[in-house]
Structure 1
Amino acid sequence: MSIRRPTARPRNPCFSSGPCAKRPGWRPEGLAAALVGRSHRSAAGKARLAEVIERSRSVLDIPADYRVAIVPASDTGAVEMVLWSLLGPRGVDVLAWESFGEQWAQDIISQLRLADERCLAAPYGCLPDLTAVSAERDIVFAWNGTTSGVRVPDGGWIAADRSGLTICDATSAAFAMALPWDKLDVTTWSWQKALGGEAQHGMIALSPRAIERLLSHTPAWPMPKIFRLTQDGALAEGIFRGETINTPSMLAVEDHLDALRWAADIGGLPALITRAEANLAAIEEWVARAGWPAFLAVDKAHRSCTSVCLRIADPAVARLESADQAAIARRLAALLEAEGAAFDIEAYRHAPPGLRLWAGATVETADLRALFGWLDWAYAEVAP
């Protein structure tokens, strides 16, 4: 089937799932006040880092008694830091329904080698049985599966009277979804996801229960310096004031402050959620109309509003071998990149073949609508 090639392109064709699109109106000139060439340990440098912490707390509405810190190595570093620092006293339930959950499970099983761990797994597109988790055990999970486009619907499955800790990788959920802080003891995210920051830095928010675990539990394994949240049996207080363990990029700091100010200016978290959900609704309308794509998420209630993962449902392609499906998706993505209509939209390398569109709050709905015609055209060009 031939489809006329569109003429109008998205104003911002960046739909990558990390690093993600910059905020609308972003310009490099907005970073002119960055403390480049200055020490992050100077008074001015520490003030900028502390501002990131407090602005993050404000936009995300993090409770006042939670401690927030900037940590090394993006969300991956943040998750590893808390796994190595907190796990051990109790059995652990790890939820895995996409590649990052699988990675955390593998680290817990193969690296930490805990005596009592369970991996509650589900295939891409589905959630594990959330009712199977135990309130007596620690729980490790992603709020939103970045590589599957599947999110937990809410925090109702987490016991309010739990004795274990909940450790939540929220990197593609923070700043786009409502997080129930009373159900989350440890939450991690990165600058490079929902607000379109530059890569490098991660963040953690620790509840009073998580702090209590930190101070009462000594891990059985050696702790690398970049994982240490305590010092001499006490909390490393400086980390929670912007005194980072490693050297941060002050240019990236200024960029993230720019994004946080924008988020606050447009109305904070409610406005960010509204923008992301509007993007998901636009994609849902297009998928229903186009016919050839389908959501990887099996249950509509579990569809992500940020990392929207699609498979090719056209029977002519769906019956092909996985490698052949992947080749078609790869050609489609490459064609759109060559046209300057969309960058970096192929599915994650370990996920089922298909496409992945970032639809978080920094993406304009108008850009998505401009993309849909290009997607239909490109699919007609590459379909068998």
Structure 2
Amino acid sequence: MTALERPATRPQNPLFSSGPCAKRPGWSLDNLKNAILGRSHRSAAGKARLKLAIDRTRVLLKLPDDYLVAIVSGSDTGAVEMALWSLLGARGVDVLAWEAFGKDWVVDVVKQLKLGDVRVMEAAYGQLPDLAKVNFSRDVVFTWNGTTSGVRVPNADWIAADRQGLTICDATSGIFAQSLDWAKLDVITYSWQKVLGGEAAHGMLILSPRSVDRLESHTPKWPVPKIFRLTKGGKLNREIFEGATINTPSMLCVEDYLDALAWAESIGGLDALIARSDRNARAVTDWVERTRWIDFLAVEAQTRSNTSVCLRVVDAAISSRALEEQAAFAGKIVKLLEKEGVAFDIGAYRDAPPGLRLWCGATVDTSDLEALLPWLDWAFATLRSDLAASTQAA
């Protein structure tokens, strides 16, 4: 295979990391000048900014009036684990895992909380477990969008409306980019640094009335760390959902999140965010469909993520090699494009199969993805040609 000519057009923004993700178009540090710095987050001014972040989140997501929203510590991981430690143990649990973070929740439930009545439903990278086998008389823990596999649930139709258990959904790389059916979800978690491109370390916890009922009727058998405690005296601590965070938040990060929410509102709200993500994913899909050396990691088209788009090299000369060699080849593509300054942090997740991962969330402009794609072809052709030459020399 011969090398291609180096493309003439470069992405204006070469940031395609799947977390932390690109800042929104037009972002500047100057946008954070109103941050409440040097003041207590429990001051009237501090609590007002935290409450504003909660209220704007509710409006942008079009949440039901009786769902509660809180800012919590530890990013999405902290929010998920807060839910697991506080809510589980009242009944059996089905845990779904088809990528790295879903497998983390399996470890939490099985090895940390040591629950006895647990069904682990796993699938290989690129696939989903059999959703028809989920038992909704039990609590169900799952990721909506597999950030490390590029595989998402296609919709919420598989979730029983008359379920007895709770659905606990890690939605961090899907929320704001995909339509979530709130009536089917009892706990929703995410972090700021994904679709809205906010700063890290803070998580969001959304609770349905059913999950609040569980909190007030069920006491876990294990100790619950202070940072996870959602109740006080057997009742929900509602101050947490009014901006009284359990742990000290970064008010600079809060201001950045408010800036991202304001931008989202300015471009048309949730529908516009979803449309931008869909348009980005479509650009990559069109390229994959006309390109012989690359394919999606996700097997089924209806389960392919529109945010964390995971790709694998299918050229026979590469895919026939050992996994270590495949990973090395993909790593060379990543390093070459980083050296050229056209794409940063596009390697597959460390525990995922070898390949590439492009963030296509709403803060990425489609024009930048379209400018990147010829560079991917160029990098592949260049390295493939070098590989052929070295093989012949050997």
Which bin holds the TM-score, normalised by the shorter protein?
over 0.9
Query: Which residue number corresponds to residue 247 of structure 1?
Result: 248
SS at match of 1:204: strand
Query: Which residue number corresponds to residue 155 of structure 1?
Result: 156
Task: Output the amino acid matched with 1:227.
Answer: F
SS at match of 2:290: helix
Structure 2, unmatched stretches of 5+, are 388-394
Residue 330 (structure 1) shift: 0.7
Number of residue-to-residue matches in the alignment:
384
Q: Deviations over 1:338-378 (max 9, x none)?
A: 11100000000000000000000111000000000111111
RMSD value, Cα: 0.7
Residue 167 (structure 1) shift: 0.2
Counterparts of 1:1-384 in structure 2, within 5 Å, are 1-383=2-384, 384=387
Task: Output the amino acid matched with 1:123.
Answer: A
Distance 1:37 1:289 in 2: 54
Residue 36 (structure 1) shift: 1.6
Q: TM-score, normalised on structure 1?
A: 0.99
Distance 2:321 2:58 in 1: 48
Distance 2:95 2:245 in 1: 29
Q: Deviations over 1:68-99 (max 9, x none)?
A: 10000000000000000000011000000001
Residue 203 (structure 1) shift: 0.4
Distance 1:57 1:66 in 2: 9
Distance 2:39 2:327 in 1: 46
Task: Output the amino acid matched with 2:381.
Answer: A
Task: Output the amino acid matched with 2:375.
Answer: W
Distance 1:289 1:36 in 2: 51
Structure 1, unmatched stretches of 5+, are none
Distance 2:47 2:55 in 1: 12
SS at match of 2:347: coil
Task: Output the amino acid matched with 2:255.
Answer: E
Distance 2:363 2:175 in 1: 13
Q: Deviations over 1:304-359 (max 9, x none)?
A: 00000000011111101000000011111011111110000000000000000000
Task: Output the amino acid matched with 1:175.
Answer: F
SS at match of 1:287: helix
Runs ≥4 residues deviating over 2 A: none
Distance 1:382 1:190 in 2: 36
Residue 32 (structure 1) shift: 1.0
SS at match of 2:89: coil
Q: Deviations over 1:11-37 (max 9, x none)?
A: 111100001011111111111111121
Task: Output the amino acid matched with 1:29.
Answer: D
Distance 2:55 2:292 in 1: 45
SS at match of 1:258: helix
Residue 103 (structure 1) shift: 0.7
Q: TM-score, normalised on structure 2?
A: 0.97
Distance 1:13 1:156 in 2: 37
Residue 6 (structure 1) shift: 1.3
Residue 51 (structure 1) shift: 0.7
Residue 290 (structure 1) shift: 2.1
